[in-house]
Each structure stands twice: as structure tokens, then as C-alpha cells.
Amino acid sequence: MRRYSAFAIAREALRHHQGWERAWRAPEPKPGYDAVIIGAGGHGLATAYYLGKNHGVTNVAVIEKGWLGGGNTGRNTTIIRSNYLQDPSAAIYEKARSLYETLSQDLNYNVMFSPRGVMMLAQTHHEVRGYQRTAHANALQGVVTEYIGPERVKDLCPIIHIDGPRYPVLGALWQPRGGTARHDAVAWGYARACSAMGMDIIQQCEVLGVRSEGGSVVGVDTAKGFIGCKRLGIVVAGHSSVVAEMAGFRLPVESLALQALVSEPIKPCMDVVVMANTVHGYMSQSDKGEMVIGGGTDGFNNYTQRGSFHHIEETLRALIETFPMISRLKMLRQWGGIVDMTGDRSPLISKTPLGGCFINCGWGTGGFKAIPGSGWAMAELMAKGEPGPLAAAFGMERFREGRFIDESVAAGVAH
Ligand code: FAD
Ligand code: PYC
């Protein structure tokens, strides 16, 4: 695979861009692999990448029922932060955030990481105390955050109305190196790097069944036939329970739609990311100028990957007191993704009751930010058969043992 570089752009400009290669191959499946990963979202692709890069396992297939990055990875609002409360969460989200800092260089693909800063507004006294507590916890965890007052909020984001009648802004939890990245590029960058290592990314290939012998996985039945494997990773987000059932076990996960929308593009007016969790809204401005806006999950479990009108109304009504300027914007597009929620709002990176089969799911409304760290930890689990330090706390046995990692506040999105 040829490297992308300024020199390559100049060379291609001179020959009318006729010489670019395909970013990844489109192979037919082989009869078997050392490792198969179901799901070519960010987490599945990152798992494959770090299996190759960190553990030298490259006889790998990533199997996707649709197109790569077409699930939640290509549908999210791209917020990256690591301001979680519990130690295991801070460790994995901060690992992910720090990998994002150099991901473009690592993958030789511009993922447009933009550490513009993320603030979570405190609009009730309860939130003030909660975010001050998180700032103290983050200081102990080595995660750089700061509790800031309303004047600093206004300085950082002049379009915020801080004296709202119902929910005045009392302060914020500020993470200066949080931000955003281009979601598709994260999937595409990992896919290209995996393909370059010789891995097969097989799209339009739904997994229909999981086969086992003597309590261990031997392969998967797919729309393109049987594919054998020694190790299987299930990384399918909102469809985790469906695929787990094929493998013969149940998960403590519910599936819900989470929706988002974007406005027409406008001139630059906001160069930070703002989350307003009391009213359930969050907003940032994309490089194209659109205001990227999201709210809470649907109030009922479902698999419908779509937007709905009542959600636009609810989300904008929630945000308008704090951002009066959005009342004058036209909204362009809306969509939904199916998120996988656990009871403690923390993920599963876990062995399963089926030998050789591992699961990575439960990232719910907040897994985009985790992709590099999650892939790193899942690759270690799949390569060694045991979790490393990043994944150790996230086994599914924690639900049997009552050892929850409660992140219902830090998850930041209503559910
Ligand atoms: P996905 O990207 O969904 O990938 C799973 C893949 O598995 C899919 O491509 C699917 O087609 C495939 N699959 C499913 N079943 C099968 C099968 N049987 N056979 C083969 N393939 C199968 N997180 C943040 O950190 N910040 C945010 O700002 C943020 N905003 C969000 C906003 C919205 C509207 C949504 C929906 C989510 C948001 N998230 C956010 C959450 C984040 O998008 C997800 O946690 C993350 O993308 C999950 O990645 P994934 O790779 O696990 O799943
Ligand atoms: O986890 O930061 C997050 C998030 C923002 C919007 C949806 N999830």
C-alpha cells in the first residue's frame, strides 16, 4: 500500500488523480482464519488493527453485514472526552483519547482529530457538586479536567446564554484536550491499515449463526457460507444480544435508538463542544459549518435506525434556552443509530461462556470516543485469552457479582 503524503498529492495532481489505489481490498472469504471479528464498526476494525500491530496476528477477517462504518460509528456526534468518574473508565477512555492524539500519523490517514475542548454544563446545584467531584477524581486519575465558573464558560463559548430563567449556567466541567474527530475517517483509516496488513474486510456478509464443537467456537455461518475460526470477537453494538443468542448466551444489554440532527451550515460561531446534560442536549460545529446536535435516547427499546420528528422538537426545545441562536436555524438532516445499553452504563470487554468467543459491547451512547482504547484492550483479550489491565474490570461476570462500574452521570446522555 502506498503511503499518503504531500508528495503523493502533488504527484497525483500532475497525473489527474489517475493513480490512487483503492483504500482497502474487497476480498471473498477464505475457508478459515485465526481470528474472525463480527462487525466492521470502529471497535471491530480497531480490534483487528491492534491484533496485527500489537500481537502479530494478521490472519484475520472482519465480517460486516452492511458497509463498514455504516452502524453507530458513522452515525454519532463524534464527541471525544475521558472525564469519567470511576478508575477503570478513566483508564480506558483516557487511553483512547491519548491514542486519538496521534491516530492520523499512526494510521497514515487524516482522522481530523480536533482537540478543541469539551465542556459539560452544570445547570443545577446537584450537577455543580457532581462535576466538582469528577474534577477531583480526574486529578487523581491523571486526566486533565477543571471545574470552571460561568464567566469562563461565556468566554469560551460566547453564544451561550448563561442567565437562562430555568437553567442558568452555574459552571462546567472543562476538558481542554477533549474534542471531536471525523467519524467515517476513523473507520476508513483503521480499515485501510488492516487491509494493508493482509486482513480481509468482508462487507455485505451477515453472520447468521455461530458454530461450536465441544464448548468452543469453530466458525460462523454467513450470507457467503461457512467461515472457520479459532477465535471469534463479537463487536456488533446494537445487535449484540441478537448475535450472542446465536452463540448461545444472554447479555445484560438493551437496544435503543439514539438520534441526532444537523443544521444548515453557518459561519464559525462555536469552537468548543458543549454538553448540557440537565436538559439533554449537546452541540458542536462541524468543519462544514453545520451545528451537530443530539439529545437523549428513545424512551423505549427498539431496532429502528431512523430519526423522528418529535425528537427534533424535544431536543431543540431543550437547548434553545441555553442557545437562543438555534431558534433561527434550519435543520437539514436527522438520523438514528441503535445503541447497546448496560445497566451500569459501562461496556463489556469480556470472555463468554463459549470457549474462544469474546464480546465487546455495551458502549451505549458513548463509544465513539473509546474506539482506539477499546480495540487495544479487545485485541489483547483475543490474543492472550485473558483480559489485560485495561479490560480486566469490564468482564460480564460483574453483573452476577454486583460489581458495577456506575457511569450513569458521566455517560452524559439521557437514557
Ligand atoms: P457500530 O459502529 O454500530 O458497528 C457494529 C457493526 O456490526 C455494524 O456496522 C453492523 O452492521 C454490524 N453487524 C451487526 N450485526 C451483524 C451481523 N449479524 N453480521 C455482521 N455484521 C453485523 N459516542 C461518543 O463517544 N460520542 C458521541 O458524540 C456519540 N454520539 C452518538 C450519537 C448517536 C446518534 C449515536 C447513535 C451514537 C453516538 N455515540 C457517541 C455512540 C457511538 O456511536 C457508539 O458507541 C460506537 O460507534 C459503537 O461502535 P461499534 O463499532 O461498537 O458499533
Ligand atoms: O458520550 O460524550 C458522549 C456523547 C455525546 C453525545 C452522545 N454521546
> How far is the CA of 62 from the CAs of 26, 44, 107, 412, in angstroms?
11, 7, 18, 31
Cα(64) to centroid(ligand 1), Å: 12
Cα(368) to centroid(ligand 2), Å: 8
For residues 55 and 229, what is the distance between their CA atoms, to the nearest angstrom? 17
Q: Which atom of ligand 2 is nearest to the CA of 275?
A: 5
Pocket test of ligand 1: the residue of 38, 49, 76, 305 to mutate, having most ligand atoms within 8 Å of its CB, is: 76
Share of the chain above pLDDT 90, in %: 93
Instruction: Report which of 412, 83, 178, 145 is spatially closest to residue 279, judged by C-alpha positions.
Output: 412
Q: Is the pLDDT of residue 415 over 60?
A: no
Q: Which atom of ligand 1 is nearest to the CA of 282?
A: 28
Q: What is the value of pTM for the model shown?
A: 0.97
Contact 342, 252 (CB under 8 A): yes
Residue 361 grid cell = 459491547
The predicted structure's pLDDT at residue 368: 98
Pocket test of ligand 1: the residue of 232, 241, 368, 376 to mutate, having most ligand atoms within 8 Å of its CB, is: 368
For residues 258 and 293, what is the distance between their CA atoms, to the nearest angstrom? 12
Q: Which atom of ligand 2 is nearest to the CA of 77?
A: 6
Q: Over the chain, what is the mean pLDDT?
A: 96
Q: What is the mean pLDDT of residues 389-396?
A: 98
Which residues line ligand 1 at a C-beta cut-off of 6 Å? 38-44, 63-66, 70-73, 75-79, 206-207, 235-237, 239, 243, 258-260, 294, 337, 339, 363, 365-369
Contact 294, 131 (CB under 8 A): no
Nearest CA to ligand 1 atom 4: 41
Span 105-150, pLDDT tens digits: 999 999 999 999 999 999 999 999 999 999 999 999 999 999 999 9
**Letter for the amino acid at 323?**
F
Cα(267) to centroid(ligand 2), Å: 24
- Map grid coordinates 463468554 to a residue: 352
Q: How many CB atoms lie within 10 A of CB 213?
A: 9
Q: What is the mean pLDDT of residues 264-289?
A: 95
Query: Is the minimum distance from the CB of 259 to ligand 2 under 6 angstroms?
Result: no
Contact 393, 88 (CB under 8 A): yes
- Map grid coordinates 483508564 to a residue: 91
Q: Which pLDDT band, with edges at 50, 70 and 90, does 1 fall under?
A: confident
Nearest CA to ligand 1 atom 6: 39
Q: What ranges in 209-308 are assigned the alpha helix state H?
A: 240-246
Contact 100, 111 (CB under 8 A): yes
Residue 394 grid cell = 469490564
| 26 SS3 class | coil
Q: Is the pLDDT of residue 260 over 90?
A: yes
The predicted structure's pLDDT at residue 408: 85
Cα(365) to centroid(ligand 2), Å: 6
For residues 292 and 305, what is the distance between their CA atoms, to the nearest angstrom? 18
Q: What is the mean pLDDT of residues 63-76?
A: 98
Q: How many CB atoms lie within 10 A of CB 12?
A: 13
Span 344-366, pLDDT tens digits: 999 999 999 999 999 999 999 99
Cα(96) to centroid(ligand 1), Å: 16
The secondary structure of 170-237, three-state, reads: CEEEEECCCEECCHHHHHHHHHHHHHHCCCEEECCCCEEEEEEECCEEEEEEECCEEEEEEEEEECCH
Query: Is the minimum distance from the CB of 77 to ligand 2 under 6 angstroms?
Result: yes
Residue 24: how many CA atoms within 13 Å on its side-chain side? 26
Q: Which atom of ligand 2 is nearest to the CA of 368?
A: 1
Cα(371) to centroid(ligand 2), Å: 13
- Please count the residues of the chain: 415
Span 181-192, pLDDT tens digits: 999 999 999 999
Share of the chain above pLDDT 70, in %: 99
Q: What is the mean pLDDT of residues 26-40?
A: 98
Residue 12 grid cell = 497525483
Q: Is the pLDDT of residue 411 over 80?
A: no
Query: Is the minimum distance from the CB of 167 to ligand 2 under 6 angstroms?
Result: no
The predicted structure's pLDDT at residue 18: 94
Pocket test of ligand 2: the residue of 79, 283, 363 to mutate, having most ligand atoms within 8 Å of its CB, is: 79
Q: Is the pLDDT of residue 414 over 80?
A: no
For residues 348 and 345, what is the distance between their CA atoms, to the nearest angstrom? 10
The predicted structure's pLDDT at residue 412: 66
The predicted structure's pLDDT at residue 413: 74
Contact 341, 253 (CB under 8 A): yes
Q: What ranges in 15-149 are assigned the alpha helix state H?
A: 42-55, 87-101, 103-107, 125-141
Q: Which atom of ligand 1 is nearest to the CA of 67?
A: 9
